[in-house]
Amino acid sequence: MSTIREFLASPRQRLSSRREQFLEELGLTPLWRRRGAGTGDQGSTTSGRESEISDRAPRIADQESADTPVLTSPAGAPERAPRIARMNWIELGGAVKSCDACALAKTRKQSVFGVGDEMADWLFVGEAPGAEEDQKGEPFVGQGGKLLDNMLAAIGLKRGENVYIANVLKCRPPNNRNPEPFEVAQCSPHLARQVELIQPKLIVALGRFAAQALLETDATIASLRGRLHRYRGVPTIVTYHPAYLLRSMPDKAKAWADLCFARATMRDLPALVAETRRAP
């Protein structure tokens, strides 16, 4: 499948076909193609590569970052979280837009609420908005967003169609620094309410901070990948953040294995639910 090859490929590979030159002129590059792939247009062919990769994500040691923050549970005024938990979509969007619960409200251009199907089965959660997201008000735009779109397409998904995309933080940390525990704690009720309103069947946590915030842990990506977790009862899978994958090409194959694991989990959810109900 061309989308799989695009996701696994290196951005340094030379663009030589007329199609690629045209896309380059439109600013839709780099294209993500499998190492060693031919230079012709392969959009209508199927290589069988997909069958070579197991639907089970491997438990391989890896490092997304050596730094590990200590996260805390959601905090703030006692009445704030219950009030957010009663909001509908319109109220929640207004609350996020006007939120001043932490200092990020003073440095943001605008909050980034989330985008997609509000009744989606799939929920993808990232860390925080970057500069482009802060400018446009939408999560995962720019090169990281294009890679995420390729990741979705590789497992038969599309942004906005049975997919919702959000971040743990709704405001950009200055200079794209790491989120601080207090900021995560203050923003967590917003994400929790989004999950309750969407009622997704599966959550995919994109990156270390998203995983640690959702799962309330300081564990590494290495220890969290390849296993099924739960956030407020919703099955949750951990993989790398697209921005990290742009800097670490070897881990794109691991991320693809995580996506296969997520796809297999979604397929097997009826059996998993039935097994859970039978458990004493």
On the question of pLDDT at 143 being above 50, the answer is yes
C-alpha 19/C-alpha 275 separation (Å) is 49
pLDDT for position 142? 86
pLDDT for position 205? 98
Mean of pLDDT values over 108-112: 95
On the question of pLDDT at 112 being above 70, the answer is yes
Give the whole-number percent of the chain exceeding pLDDT 70: 69
49 near 34, Cβ under 8 Å?
Answer: yes
pLDDT for position 120? 97
Instruction: Quick: pLDDT tens for 153-175.
Output: 999 999 999 999 999 999 999 99
pLDDT for position 176? 86
Residue 3: partners with Cβ closer than 8 Å, 6 or more residues away? 150, 153, 154
pLDDT for position 48? 37
87-92 long-range contacts, Cβ below 8 Å, gap at least 24? 87/193, 88/197, 89/118, 89/197, 92/190, 92/193, 92/194, 92/197
Which of the four pLDDT bands, split at 50, 70 and 90, describes residue 222? confident
Does the N-terminal peptide bond of residue 30 adopt cis geometry, omega within 30 degrees of 0? yes
Instruction: Quick: pLDDT tens for 239-276.
Output: 999 999 999 888 999 999 999 999 999 999 877 665 55
Mean of pLDDT values over 58-69: 38
Domain ranges of the chain: 1-34, 75-268
Give the whole-number percent of the chain exceeding pLDDT 90: 64
191-194 long-range contacts, Cβ below 8 Å, gap at least 24? 191/125, 191/166, 191/167, 192/74, 192/81, 192/84, 192/85, 192/232, 193/84, 193/85, 193/87, 193/92, 194/92, 194/114, 194/123, 194/164, 194/166
Answer with the residue of higher pLDDT: 52 or 122. 122
CATH code, 75-268: 3.40.470.10
Give the 3-state secondary structure of residue 199.
Answer: coil
